[in-house]
């Protein structure tokens, strides 16, 4: 065989490997979806053969609401503290 033929074979094998890896990801995802007793509550998803943890995010409105409530609690606490000192 000529070197050019080897290169063609290598390219074909690498393409086949990539296709099989994509199929494996799909199968892993299906297994995860079917084996999870509480869908939507999983903290990890399969990425290839590794598990990655997902971060929970909060909306800006939620952060603002929590901040506003915390500031109100601290203001109340400080006001009561000031009354006790006098």
Q: In the predicted model, what is the mean pLDDT of residues 43-68?
A: 74
pLDDT given for residue 31 in this prediction: 86
Where do the domains of the chain lie? 1-55, 57-86
Backbone dihedral angles phi then psi of residue 53, each to the nearest 5 degrees: -90, 145
Q: Is the pTM higher than 0.85?
A: no
Q: How far apart are CA 48 and CA 57, in angstroms?
A: 24
Q: How far is CA 79 from CA 10, 61, 70, in A?
A: 76, 27, 14
pLDDT given for residue 39 in this prediction: 58
Q: Is residue 47 a contact partner of residue 64, using CB atoms and an 8 Å limit?
A: no
Residue 76 has pLDDT above 90, yes or no: yes
pLDDT given for residue 44 in this prediction: 52
What pLDDT band is residue 69 in, cutting at 50, 70 and 90? Answer: very high
């Amino acid at each position: 065989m000529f070197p050019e033929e080897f290169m063609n074979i290598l390219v074909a094998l690498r393409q086949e490997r990539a296709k099989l890896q994509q199929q494996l990801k799909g199968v892993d995802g299906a297994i995860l979806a079917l084996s999870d007793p509480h869908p939507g509550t999983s903290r990890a998803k399969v990425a290839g053969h590794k598990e990655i943890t997902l971060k929970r995010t909060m909306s800006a409105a939620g952060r603002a609401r929590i901040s506003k409530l915390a500031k109100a609690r601290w203001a109340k606490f400080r006001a009561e503290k000031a009354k006790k000192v006098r």
